[in-house]
Amino acid sequence: MAEILVLVDHVDGEVKKVTLELLTLANRLGEASAVWVGAGYDGAKDKLAEYGAQKVYVGDEELASYVVAPKAALLAELVGSKSPAAVLVAATGEGKEIAGRLAVKTGSGVLTDVVDVADGFVAEHSIFGGGIISHAKVKAGTPIIAVRPNSIAPEAAPATPAEEQVAVTLSDADKGAKIVEKVVEEKGERPDLTEASIVVSGGRGVGSGDNFKIIEELADSLGAAVGASRAATDAGWYPHSFQVGQTGKTVSPQLYIAVGISGAIQHRAGMQTSKTIVAINKDAEAPIFELVDFGVVGDLFQIAPQLTEEIGKRK
């Protein structure tokens, strides 16, 4: 079976769910080999084994001290020495950048924001705000594919991976952008927006930053992440890093609840591939209702707290 490289996405050893999704996908297409860069490997290796990594390549910790380039250098080294059939990375901001540099280094085609990959490495995209499904292929080099988080259901498939340390010599250019400090923002107990299986987002209808408590309480009752429309982040009610949409994050959860959001095309671009969509909006004509599986026309200040309470009762 052909070897497929999966770059592990993690924060200080805490493996992101998208990595498990990529391992599952890689084992569907061939044999998954995980590639590790950075601190915390010892605490993470069981997780990689549990989700089917047949091999793990471990790079030097120093590679994580510079922006992106060293990770691409390590992958390029592996593409050269192991001739994998494809390389999978998470379609996060950083994952896509690594993919881009790797593509230049290896003269390969790169496909980003992919939602599925079929035999022959035919990649599926959902484009223009989810209105069109397209398929694309890489014609040159080794397919480099950045897969959108939450697109594949991760499946445990315990393996006993062989470990291999990989050395790579960094050029001065690879070390050009030094990370002098890593600032991890407190997000409390809530899951990551792009990884969460449930997202509750608030928009202009929420009315103020203080009122976002209503959104947070609803999210917490469901163990969900909080998102926001651009109208809400522009107003300063919620930080920009929580913005969903074309110029914000793309999310694809099992359940998306839009509260006081009209459903502009730029917002839809970031959430349209959600599996189940629920909206609460007082305007029956709001475009968000074209997307929903379930919608309530009414005042969010009545409906959202009642929903939070009802969910509490059902626990």
Partner 1 sequence: MNIVVLVKQVPDTESPRKLKSDDNTLDRAAADGVINELDEYAIEEALLIKEAHGGEVTVLTMGPDKAAESIRKALAMGADKAVHLKDDALAGSDSLQTSYAIQQALGTTGFDLVVLGAESTDARTGVLAAMLAERLGVPQLSLANKVEIDGTSIKVQRQTDYGHDKVEATLPAVVSVVEKINEPRYPSFKGIMAAKKKPVETLDIAAAGIDAAQVGLANAATEVVDFAEAPPRAQGQIVTDEGDGGAKVAEFLASKKFV
Ligand X SMILES: Cc1cc2nc3c(=O)[nH]c(=O)nc-3n(C[C@H](O)[C@H](O)[C@H](O)COP(=O)(O)OP(=O)(O)OC[C@H]3O[C@@H](n4cnc5c(N)ncnc54)[C@H](O)[C@@H]3O)c2cc1C
295 binds ligand X (CB under 6 A): no
Contacts of 86 (CB under 8 A, 6+ apart): 2, 4, 5, 26, 29, 30, 117, 121, 142, 143, 144, 145
The first and second tokens of residue 54, run together, are 């047949």
Binding mask 23-62 vs partner 1 (x if CB under 8 A, - otherwise)? ----------------------------------------
Residue 292, CA distances (Å) to 2, 15, 197, 280 in order: 41, 32, 17, 10
Site for ligand X in 214-243 (CB under 6 A): 229-232, 243
Determine the residue type at 41: Y
Residue closer to partner 1 by CB (options 157, 265) is 265
Rounded Cα–Cα distance for residues 275 and 286 (Å): 20
Site for ligand X in 270-289 (CB under 6 A): 270, 280-283, 286
Check residue 262 and give left, alpha or beta (phi > 0: left; psi -120 to 50: alpha): alpha
CB 189 within 8 Å of CB 225 = no
291 binds partner 1 (CB under 8 A): yes
Residue closer to ligand X by CB (options 66, 301) is 301
178 binds partner 1 (CB under 8 A): yes
DSSP secondary structure code for residue 123 in this structure: E
How many residues lie near ligand X (CB under 6 A)? 28
Q: What are phi and psi of 5, to 5 degrees?
A: -85, 135
303 binds partner 1 (CB under 8 A): yes
The first and second tokens of residue 79, run together, are 């593409």
Site for ligand X in 114-143 (CB under 6 A): none
301 binds ligand X (CB under 6 A): yes
190 binds ligand X (CB under 6 A): no
* Residue 74: contacted member of partner 1, ligand X, none (CB under 5 to 8 Å, by partner type): none
194 binds ligand X (CB under 6 A): no
10-11 and 14-15: which strand pairing? antiparallel
Among 27, 126, 201, 252, binds partner 1 (CB under 8 A): 126
205 binds ligand X (CB under 6 A): yes
Among 39, 46, 128, 162, binds partner 1 (CB under 8 A): 128
Question: What distance lies between CA 224 and its chain's CA centroid?
Answer: 15
Residue closer to ligand X by CB (options 89, 280) is 280
Binding site for ligand X (CB under 6 A): 203-205, 229-232, 243-248, 260-262, 264, 266-267, 270, 280-283, 286, 299-301
